[in-house]
Amino acid sequence: MKTPKKEKEDNLSDILIEFFDAKTISKLNKKLPVKIQAYRTPEISTQTTDIISSEIINSFQTDSPIDFIITKAEAILSEEKFYKLLSKLGNYAIVSGKFSSAVYTFEKLVAITKGENKLNNITADSLLSLGDIFSKQALWGISFNYINGAYNIFRKFNNDKGCADCENLLGTIHGELGNLSQAHIHFEKALSFLKNKKDYSTKAKIEINLGIINNIQGNFDLALKHYNNALEKFNSVNDLKIIAEIKHNIGMLHSKMHLYRQAIEEFDQSIDLSSKKGYLPTLGISYLGKAAVYAIQKEYKLSSFFAEKALEICHKLNDRLSLAEVYKIKGIIHRDTKDYELAENYLCTSLRINKELNNEMNKAETEFELGLLYKYMQKKSEKKSYFVSAKKYFIKIGALKEVKEIDRLLK
């Protein structure tokens, strides 16, 4: 079977080299608030991972050079090259967590290409990227509007690959919201658009998402099969961004299977790749995964350490979904160390955020933890209320293991 074609991942120096000559880069660099190396750098050794991770996070405190690059490019590049540059800058901003710069870049692309039939793919791809950015911040309404805008253009011009990308993102969002049956419908529809296409990359990305759904539902063997199939494809083209995401997902799978040592190993591999390459969103959730595992193992100091690292990234990315998860973990830590008042504050805050974001799955998981808290506090009515509410959702998605556990705790 053919493998997916590698989508080139550029850092900022790569982008400058592609679009500007050395003299222009030198002049531009004098005006940038953050200096960019105008040469290719070697791979970073694993020993520097912690330093790089710190630098990635701290880079949010500096001005982004993207605005300055765009100003220069608009004056000297042809339209075709300028559009390509904006797309690359936008994608770079997404993976490095600079969402405000990414939004500006893709909105600019939409504004200058909208209505031009020959540029319809650029417009639609930019709208889809905006949908992706706002989904990462749990701004679902804005995200859906952008995705629908992209979808309409792709359908109008019979772009099946673009339609599949829209369906895949819609499925991802419904998965985040806990609407697993709806998510599965979108993933299957995405695959139907690719039925007669040799787009192995998009198919592999959909397979990752199907793995996530099966993991949530407790179909662990099938989930691992999906992940390994996708990992084989992306390993063959050395797509480190996707590999880091898959490693994180396998870590989540092992955690749910109570294989905690294996889970930590997978999270560490994801963290290592994400740190080296500056994939801040994946770095944040993998820190969060480690924090959750250490909390389960009652390694509370380690859990708190990684929760704080995740919290810092969540704030910088405006990732409120992950923020709610951090608060849940902090609540678990304080509950298990018998600081019930603080545990209640954290868990109730987590629950409030998940309700605001309409995230049914995370809401149910937090309600389960609150049920345990009130069991320890001997508050029978509160315990029953939260357990019963969580149970309804777990029944809905077919998570039988969780249902049986709640039934045991309600006795």
Residue whose C-alpha is closest to residue 145's, from 162, 128, 157:
128
Distances (CA, A) of 46 to 63, 194, 239, 279: 28, 38, 18, 15
Q: What is the pLDDT of residue 318?
A: 87
Q: What is the pLDDT of residue 27?
A: 79
pTM value is 0.83
| Alpha-helix residue ranges (DSSP H) falling in 237-359 | 240-256, 260-277, 280-296, 300-317, 320-336, 340-356
Token readout for 235 is 């390993």
| Complete domains list, the chain, with CATH | 1-117 (no CATH), 319-411 (1.25.40.10)
pLDDT in tens, the chain (411 residues): 344 444 445 678 888 889 988 888 887 777 665 555 543 433 333 333 343 344 344 444 444 688 888 988 999 999 999 999 999 999 999 988 889 999 999 999 999 999 898 999 999 999 999 999 999 999 999 999 999 999 999 999 999 999 999 999 999 999 989 899 999 999 999 999 998 888 888 999 999 999 999 998 889 999 999 999 999 989 888 889 999 999 999 999 999 999 999 999 999 999 999 998 889 999 999 999 999 999 999 999 999 999 999 999 999 898 999 999 999 999 999 999 999 999 999 999 999 999 999 999 999 999 999 999 999 999 999 999 999 999 999 999 888 899 999 999 998
Q: What is the pLDDT of residue 54?
A: 43
Q: What is the pLDDT of residue 5?
A: 47
